[in-house]
Amino acid sequence: MPNERDPRVTRVGSLKANENDLRVIGVPRRRVDARAKVTGQTRFADDIFLPRMAFCKLLRSPHPHARIRRIDTSRAVAHPGVYLVLTGKDVPIQYGILPVSQDEQALCVDHVRHVGDPVAAVIAREELTAFEALDLIDVDYEILTTISNPEEALATSAPRIHEYGEEGNIHKLVALEFGNVEEGFAEADEIFEDTFFFQGNTHLPIEQHASVAIKDPDGKLTIWSSTQTPHYLHRALAKVLEMPAAHIRVIATPNGGGFGGKSDPFNHEIVVAKAALMLDRPVKICLTREEVFYCHRGRHPILMKFKTGVKKDGAITGMHLQTLIDGGAYGSYGVASTFYAGALQTTTYHVPRYRYQGCRTFTNKPPCGPKRGHGTPQPRFGQEVQLDKIAERLKIDPANLRLHIVESPNAVTANFFRLGTVNLSECIRRVVEVSGWKDKFRKLPEGRGVGLACSAYLTGAGLPIYWNKMPHSGVQLKFDRCGGVSIFCGATEIGQGSDDVLAGIVAQVLGIDPFDIRLFTGDTDLGPVDLGSYSSRVTLMAGNAALQAAERGKAIIAEGVAEKLEVPKERLSFADKRVFDSVAPEKGVSFEEAVCIAEARFGTIGTVGSYTPPKSPALYKGGGVGPSPTYSYSAAVVEVEVNPVTGWVTVPRIWIAHDIGCALNPTLARGQVEGSVYMGLGEALMEEQEFRRLPKKLSHALVHKFPSILEYKSPTSLDMPEVITELIEEPDPQGPFGAKEVGQGPLLPIMPAVANAVYDAVGVRIDEIPITPEKIMKALAEKKAGREPRFGPSHFPRINWPEALRVPPPWEGGDGNAVNDVPRRTRRVSKKEKVLTS
């Protein structure tokens, strides 16, 4: 289908001039895995049916916090059709995604920490039999005090949810100071203090997590699973099953949506692996939707306090951010999330002095973790709404204020993150222009309004989750005599188009069609390691590895063809499935012949490529979270209509500009922008992971308020506004063909832009996400009563913060180390400390 120009997306930038040279990259086209997806043939984990396959179900705790006194499985074991019943003692070894938080057990041994924590597993001939047998397991619980929120966690030192962490139920405390913030406040003309709350929400992938494990004929283990991180699952399985990793094969099936929710190694994956090994038959599990809500790992609820000093022109003199983070029952990525919540404030606007204090607590709720934007959407909401308030007080247009303070390209920020290209100003100018901002802001009739906000996001985490010096991505290429090319890579397709990125880059370099390529991805046996589909890292990291492997293959082929055609190899072009003399294009051979010539000359052709991110200048403890090879930028304008009688918010239109570097496949890039806008809008207006107490006459347990899709509200096709997307394309030297990330960044500005638009529409500040009609009605009532027209948190609790690590920023002569800590470059790091986020 002709798709040369997509009229619904505007692309701005220097790439356009080169369009004719780029026959695959930058051209809107069908993704390589599209046919499988539109025919229903993409094989998701639950689509795998194997002979003799048994089914697994998990018995989950009905109590939010309890000791397990005794488990009696005898009745379940005796139930007809039951093959095996497992309890915690069968898989007792602790694991977790971060080396510092190895706090999970596949089945709880003696302590359950949230409703839904698994305590036993039944493996049976049929799924229904396994369900039935769950009722036959008798568990004797001793109920413990429930910690239901962070303030309770701060106030309740016993019982402890975990025996590790800072103290009591505080999991992690962070205190970092970059420059003297008090001096910054002293220089300020105005100081703003605002508290915000961002409620938790969940990924809600339509595919429920599923896994199938088998014992291979040679006694090894293979597991297919809906995971975004097969490599990390591989490591966790080796640890818990006490098997050599070389005897374990993890195959990440394409994920039916991930969004971060399938990034942890999960208890159900370990359980089916263990069961398959014990039974010597395939074992499958597919979670129910309710269980998916208990797996969670979604957005952390965060209470935030921003104190920001500004000059009259809006220049920031200092910023102090405090966060109180509801971690739920386990560590998960939480230590990283705690740092992320304080990391990216400096990457959009110039912040000369910055202090961050973060506190993550354990609570008896499903564990929080990484959701699209990982730890950064919450503070981004606070920062961008506060900027709106600052602009209003200073009587500066919010777009102009931001344009005045945008951070410079290639800057090293106060917290030592090295930026790449920064086209945030261009993003702001574009959305201002296309949205008609100047004719709308503070000019629309009552009930209608516009709001603007910006953001930045990583293009891949600069450090791996476990300490090592190896590449973050590897790619192998096999060149076939028939002209086909096979790509082997651990990268995981979760819908974002990771396979298409690899195929597109290799096809571009070799001058072949992406559909001539076969992909073998997400398989720990077949492909070299890629760390996983998280932190928006695949396009840049796996993409660069693919680029290197393809360039190496091209060099070998060019050598052979140059000899054969007697043309200098520098003059050879690879395009249209041919290798030819660029001076005399008729002189050349087909790509197939070229491979044969090279194979005859050099032997079987295979190449490898790998990618390791540049070293970060952030050497202080905690500086491992936030560095990235480069950052993407977004600016959005949201238009709203607020019904003053019902508080109902309608969003007719959103304009968004995203600094992407280069849109490798603009069709997919646009899909990522619109998908991010959609998900951000859901978070802004309706999505929330809420809990409630059962009545006292029942157990009074803290339970999920609505673990179902029906009641966990998310936007439907009827709610989706028109989205006008602008892609800003100035190639970044770090990215393959200049590409930066697009999967997460465009989500970030949506929530604050909605809040700012609501204020423009009806003059009330909703300093809390989601912005529901109830909150708007309450704020309107405050306004009517002559009180502060606002809904949001009013206080931030006292927390005993540790002494901050003091890191002088670059402009104060800092070298990236803390002055009150042992410099990282010189100190001997003990094995235990050799962890990214310790």
Question: Contacting another protein (CB under 8 A), which of 16, 38, 143, 246?
Answer: 38
Please give the single-letter amino acid code of residue 386.
Q
- Taking the complex as a whole, the smallest distance from the CB of residue 41 to another protein amounts, in Å, to 7
Within 10 angstroms of residue 763's Cβ, the number of other Cβ atoms is: 14
Q: Strand, helix or coil at 110?
A: coil
* Of 22, 47, 185, 277, the one binding another protein by CB under 8 A: 47
- The interface with another protein within residues 435-474 (CB under 8 A) comprises none
Among 96, 99, 205, 369, binds another protein (CB under 8 A): 205
Q: Does 678 bind another protein (CB under 8 A)?
A: yes
Binding residue (CB under 8 A) for another protein from 17, 20, 70, 80:
80
**Residue ranges of E strands in 587-643:** 588-590, 606-611, 631-642
Query: Binder to another protein among 103, 177, 207, 388 (CB under 8 A)?
Result: 207
Query: How far, rounded to the nearest angstrom, does the alpha carbon of residue 283 sit from its chain's CA centroid?
Result: 29
Smallest distance, Å, CB 375 to another protein?
Answer: 20
Using CB under 8 A as the binding rule, whether residue 20 contacts another protein is answered as no
Instruction: Tell me which of 35, 481, 705, 834 binds another protein, using CB under 8 A.
Output: 35
Q: Which is nearer to another protein, 130 or 173 (CB)?
A: 130
Binds another protein (CB under 8 A): choice among 83, 178, 259, 417: 259
Which is nearer to another protein, 137 or 835 (by Cβ)? 137
Nearer to another protein, 47 or 480 (CB): 47
Q: Cis peptide leading into 159, omega within 30 of 0?
A: yes
Number of residues that bind another protein (CB under 8 A): 66
Smallest separation (angstroms) from another protein to the CB of 678: 3
Per CB under 8 A, 394 contacts another protein? no
Q: Single out the residue of 194, 674, 730, 741 in contact with another protein (rule: CB under 8 A).
A: 674
d(CA 79, CA 59): 15
Q: Is 377 in the site for another protein (CB under 8 A)?
A: no
| Contacting another protein within 490-529 (CB under 8 A) | 494-497
Q: Which of residues 721-740 bind another protein (CB under 8 A)?
A: 722-723
At residue 302, what are phi and psi to the nearest 5 degrees? -135, 130
| Interface map 283-302 toward another protein (x if CB under 8 A) | -----xx-------------
Q: Which residues contact 281 (CB under 8 A, 6 or more apart)?
A: 52, 53, 54, 83, 214, 215
- In whole angstroms, the minimum distance from the beta carbon of 505 to another protein comes to 18
- Closer Cβ to another protein, 256 or 328, answer by number: 256
Site for another protein contains 77 (CB under 8 A): no
Give residue for tokens 């039935």: 132
Distances (CA, A) of 328 to 167, 270, 301, 322, 355: 16, 21, 9, 19, 25
Give CA torsion, residues 461, 462, 463, 469, to 10 deg. 140
Residue closer to another protein, measured from CB, 299 or 353: 299
Dihedrals φ, ψ of 795, to 5°? -145, 160
Among 5, 16, 43, 312, binds another protein (CB under 8 A): 43
Which contiguous run of DSSP H or E holds residue 66? strand 66-72
CB 121 within 8 A of CB 85: yes
Token pair in block for residue 328:
């739920």
The least CB distance from residue 14 to another protein, in Å, is: 24
Give residues 115-144 in contact with another protein (rule: CB under 8 A): 124-129
Among 11, 31, 249, 284, which residue interacts with another protein (rule: CB under 8 A)? 31
**One-character DSSP codes across 255-286:** PS--TTTT-S--HHHHHHHHHHHHHTS-EEEE
Q: Which of residues 322 and 496 has its CB atom nearest to another protein in the complex?
A: 496
Q: What is the largest CA-CA distance in the chain?
A: 89
Query: Hey, what are 837's tokens?
Result: 């986020």
For CA atoms 179, 184, 185, 186, the dihedral sign is positive
The neighbouring-strand residues paired with 172 are: 360
- Compute the C-alpha angle 347/749/793, nearest 5°: 95
**428 contacts 346 by C-beta, under 8 angstroms:** no
Q: Which of 487, 558, 570 is nearest to 522 (CA)?
A: 487
By CB under 8 A, residue 254 contacts another protein = yes
Would you tell me which residues interact with another protein (CB under 8 A)?
1, 3, 8, 30-31, 33-44, 46-47, 49, 80-81, 124-129, 203-208, 254-259, 288-289, 494-497, 667-668, 670-671, 674-679, 708-710, 714, 716-718, 720, 722-723
